[in-house]
Amino acid sequence: MEDPVSENVESAAVAKAPARTPGELVALVEALIFVSEEPIGTKLLADILGEEKGAIQAAVEQLSAEYVERSSGLQIREIAGGYQIATRPEFHEEIRAFLKTRPSAKLSLASLETLAVIAYKQPVTVPEILDIRGVQSATSIKTLLDKRLIVAKGRKEAVGRPMQYGTSKEFLLQFGLKDLSELPSIEDFEDLVSSGSELA
């Protein structure tokens, strides 16, 4: 759905041959990130504005720095493969008071663990999750599927052809991740664990 739109816009924009100052580009990028309902990616921005990706990235960095510099209540975030304007977390109380919302129900420890296993081991089957957690995870998997944090990723070519699961885009959004590579490596936790456990 994105493609035809961006193609049209691209040809229109290229025809115009942009002659913008860097400041104008930063302003335009800000405006587009602002109106975009979902995080907007570098490529889409570049297509719409008829600019090089590098120029877009520089503009976003500039914009982000400006926000930081003036201690703005907003921030530019890179999330789920795009950019987004969001409020800074320290203002959550006042914002919630205004929006009259409460933080949504948190995931249980069991669900979080199951999600962690899926995030790091994907695509992963239910028996593989059981192996690591040592406990049935069916309820957690259902909760995670309901919350659309995980998706079925086809069947594994093994005995019984078990279903494999992986994380979704919603997962990236809800956990503020640019992409899966932004997750700290599981080996980092290993160091943490063994240094904490080695008493002797």
Partner 1 sequence: MVKDISKVTEELEQFSFDFHTEKPEIVAAGRDELRVRIGDFAGPLDLLLYLIKQEQANIFDIPIAKITAKYLETIQLMKRLDIAVAADFLVMAATLIEIKSKMLLPRDPKAEDEDIEFDDPRRELVDRLLEYEKFKTAAGMLHERTTIEQATFTRGALETDENNSEVDATVFDLLTVFQKIVARHLEEVKMEIEREEISLADMIRTLEGRIVEFGEVNLSGFFEEMRSHRELVTAFIAALEIVRSEAVRLVQNKTFGEILLRRA
Q: Which residues bind partner 1 (CB under 8 A)?
A: 34-35, 37, 75, 77, 84-90, 92, 95, 99, 103-113, 115-117, 119-120, 132-136, 138-139, 143, 173-177, 184, 186, 189-190, 192-194, 197-200
Q: How far is the CB of 19 from partner 1 (least distance, A)?
A: 28
Which residue, 21 or 194, is less far from partner 1 as judged by CB?
A: 194
Contact 67, 34 (CB under 8 A): no
Which residue, 55 or 63, is less far from partner 1 as judged by CB?
A: 63
Q: How far is the CB of 194 from partner 1 (least distance, A)?
A: 7
User: What's the angle, vertex CA 86, arms to CA 174 and CA 189, rounded to 5?
Assistant: 40
Which residue, 55 or 76, is less far from partner 1 as judged by CB?
A: 76
Please give the Cα distance from 44 to 179 (Å, whole number): 17
What number of other Cβ atoms are within 10 A of residue 143's Cβ?
18
Place of tokens 């086809």: 154
**Would you give the distance in Å from CA 73 to the centre of its chain?**
21
Contact 64, 75 (CB under 8 A): yes
Which residue, 4 or 21, is less far from partner 1 as judged by CB?
A: 4
Which residue, 54 or 91, is less far from partner 1 as judged by CB?
A: 91
Please give the Cα distance from 172 to 1 (Å, whole number): 21
Q: How far is the CB of 54 from partner 1 (least distance, A)?
A: 26
Q: How far is the CB of 30 from partner 1 (least distance, A)?
A: 12
Contact 126, 162 (CB under 8 A): yes
What number of other Cβ atoms are within 10 A of residue 115's Cβ?
24
